[in-house]
Structures are given as structure tokens and as C-alpha cells.
Amino acid sequence: MNILITGGAGFIGSHVVRLFLKSYPKDKIYNLDALTYAGNLENLKDIEDAPNYTFLKADITDAEEMMALFEEHDFDKVIHLAAESHVDRSIEDPLQFVKTNIIGTLNLLNAALAIWKKDFSGKLFYHISTDEVYGSLGSEGLFTEETAYDPNSPYSASKAGSDHFVRAYGETYGLPYIISNCSNNYGPNQFPEKLIPLFINNCINEKPLPVYGDGQYTRDWLYVIDHARAIEVIYKNGIQGETYNIGGFNEWTNIDLIHMLCELIDKELGRAPGSSKKLITYVKDRPGHDRRYAIDATKIKNELHWEPSVTFEEGLAKTISWYLNNSEWLQGVTSGNYKEYYKKQYL
């Protein structure tokens, strides 16, 4: 079996590549990634010499290149994670999100269709999406697989667009597909533009912790390795043409999460209790900021017997100690262009 994983040098993708190399030693695992600011081969240093691993540096926005790679490597399965993934960047540059998330996905769909259409048996296009496509919840309720799409940011609109195209290729051309929509991930190797790694990095460097708006926004957090496990379960046992929601059964307001993070970091760094909390600074809100996300993950739990294996307290502690023990990684990704991004976004 030739398995193509796109975006495998990114945060979630690198954990998926590692898990699949281990779980499927007889299959060939191809990691296709353009190595944008978010892609980093350091994330995969430990497995780069695995005999069943091939890295392909390629850009999904290049239609000809995608077609040529599908012709050359005869992929049987695609797990598509490559994307622009940060909401704040999408507010600055929506077109880049349309190019990567919509056009890029279409290029992969077209290449898969062209090569697979004579015989779809044994083929699968598995598209990794987000709970943000469902929009924002009030104080009650959960997103189910039946919740109507209602995206509010250029990022979530572009992910919703890509989901619709995947489903449309299934309905129109018979392309075998599955889609999963996951809640907020956290864990090792996440780029420090997202809340948790950004705040860990700022605590380490004793820089302000910029809380958007009133800090009462709510997210449902899942440890990245549990997301990778869910992806494997869906890949193996999911039903074609179905959607699966993945979540942590773990809702936190941002400010409560930040307080817990600050306490854990102070302990880890041997700082006086309350030191990191003093860095909390309320700043201007994110435009179009979704108030609450929360996933009903009953379907994957009941039908595919998946549930999170790591508690939030364990996961956060592991994450903090990973960042503290990987200061070279952190320094590597926060030099250069990151400084420009940080200045524009926060200073």
C-alpha cells in the first residue's frame, strides 16, 4: 500500500506520520510537504531514516506537480492535512488560505480522480478538517456531524470550502472519501503562534501573555497524539462517505486554561507561585472571534471505539516539559520571520 500524508512536516501531520510508520511497517509512507513557515523536518528527525518513509518536498497549489506525483508513486490512500491553519494569519491574508486550503485540496482531488477513476477499489481520500466549520456555539449545545456549516473566519470558510469539494467529488464522481472534524489540538511540536505554545514561550521569556477580549472564549482541547490515534482508527475502520467529529470532551475558557498553564509552568521552572500570572495582559479581541466550540464525539466513540487516552492535566504537563526540554527547536522556529509576524500581530 502506498499511503500519501500531506502536511506531514507540520504539527499534527508529524505525529500522524510517526504513528503510521509504526503501525504500517509493510506500507510505504510518503510525506508531501512544501515546508512553509509551519513545516519543519526537525519534527521528524527520529524517523527520517525509516526504510518505509519518503519525504516529497512539493506544493499542493501546483496542479501539474500533484498530477505528476500521483502518476509516479501510485498512491492508494491519501490523508490530507496540508493547510494554512492559523486564524489570525487568515484575517491578514485570506487569499493565501483560498489558494492552499481550497485550490490545493482541489488539485489533490483532481490528481486522485484522474489516477483512480478506472477502479476505485482499495482507494481512499481522507480529508482532515476542523470543528471551526460549524461556526460558534452559545453557552449550550455541542457540534454533531449534523450541525450545519456556518464558518466565521477566512480560515474556517476555506476549510469549509475544502470539505464541500471533497464531499462533492464523492457525490459527483464516486471518489471514495472520509472527512473528520476535530477540535483544538495541543502538544509537542506545535508552532508558537497558537495559544498554548505561544503562552509557554512567552512565560519562558517573561513576555506579556496577550489574552484576546474578555478571555471567556471556550475551546475543547485534545492532546495531539489522541488526534493521531483517532485518524488511524478512522483510516482503518471508518465508513466511506461518512464524517466523524473528534473532540476531547474537555471544554475550558481561555482564562481558566491560562491560569492552569501559568501555575504548571511556575512549578516546572521553580518560580514563585503567581509569577507567570502577572504576565497576563488583556488585548484587543480577534475580529469575528468564535465564542465557543465543543464537540460531541459520541459517533466515533460508539462506532469506532475511540476515546481520548490522555487527561488535560497530563497532556499539558507533558507539553510544557517538551517545550522546556526542546529549547533549540523553539529557538529555531522563533528566529527570522517569526519576529516579523510577532511584531505585526502583537506589538
Interface size with ligand DAU, residues (CB under 6 A): 19
The stretch near ligand NAD (CB under 6 A) out of 145-153, 178-186, 258-266, 287-295 is 178-186
Q: What part of residues 279-308 is at the interface with ligand DAU (CB under 6 A)?
A: 286, 293
Nearer to ligand DAU, 238 or 248 (CB): 248
One character per residue 116-155, x = contact with ligand NAD (rule: CB under 6 A): ------------x-x-------------------------
Grid cell locating 47? 524517523
3 touches 76 (CB < 8 A)? yes
d(CA 217, CA 256): 10
The DSSP output letter for 27 is S
Q: Which residues of 220-253 are buried (b: 16+ CB within 10 A; e: fewer)?
A: bbbbbbbbbbbbbbbbeebeeeebbbbbbbbbbe
184 near ligand DAU, judged by CB under 6 A: yes
83 near ligand NAD, judged by CB under 6 A: yes
Q: Which of 21, 69, 85, 192 binds ligand NAD (CB under 6 A)?
A: 85
d(CA 97, CA 95): 5
The DSSP output letter for 256 is H
Closest CA to 246 of 330, 134, 139, 116: 134
- The neighbouring-strand residues paired with 6 are 32, 80
Q: Which of 210, 238, 247, 248 binds ligand DAU (CB under 6 A)?
A: 210
Catalytic-labelled residue, pool 132, 232, 251, 296: 132
Q: How, if at all, do strands 243-246 and 209-212 pair?
A: unpaired
Of all residues in the shown chain, the one whose CB is closest to ligand NAD is: 10
Catalytic-labelled residue, pool 33, 53, 84, 131: 131
- The neighbouring-strand residues paired with 254 are none
Give the burial class of 67: count Cβ atoms within 10 A of its Cβ; 0-12 exposed, 13-18 middle, 19 or more buried: middle
232 near ligand DAU, judged by CB under 6 A: no
Q: 12 is in the binding site of which of ligand NAD, ligand DAU, none (Cβ under 5 to 8 A by kind)?
A: ligand NAD
40 near ligand DAU, judged by CB under 6 A: no
Closest CA to 291 of 182, 216, 220: 216
27 touches 18 (CB < 8 A)? no
155: annotated active-site residue = yes
Q: What part of residues 17-76 is at the interface with ligand NAD (CB under 6 A)?
A: 33-36, 38-39, 59-61
Q: 163 is in the binding site of which of ligand DAU, ligand NAD, none (Cβ under 5 to 8 A by kind)?
A: none
Q: 147 is in the binding site of which of ligand DAU, ligand NAD, none (Cβ under 5 to 8 A by kind)?
A: none
Q: Which residues of 131-161 are buried (b: 16+ CB within 10 A; e: fewer)?
A: bbbbbbbeeeebbebebeeebbbbbbbbbbb
Nearer to ligand NAD, 54 or 281 (CB): 54
Interaction site with ligand NAD (CB under 6 A): 7, 9-13, 33-36, 38-39, 59-61, 81-83, 85, 100, 104, 128, 130, 159, 182, 184-185, 191
Which active-site residues does the annotation give? 131-132, 155
Interaction site with ligand DAU (CB under 6 A): 85-87, 130-132, 183-184, 194-195, 198, 210-212, 217, 219, 254, 286, 293
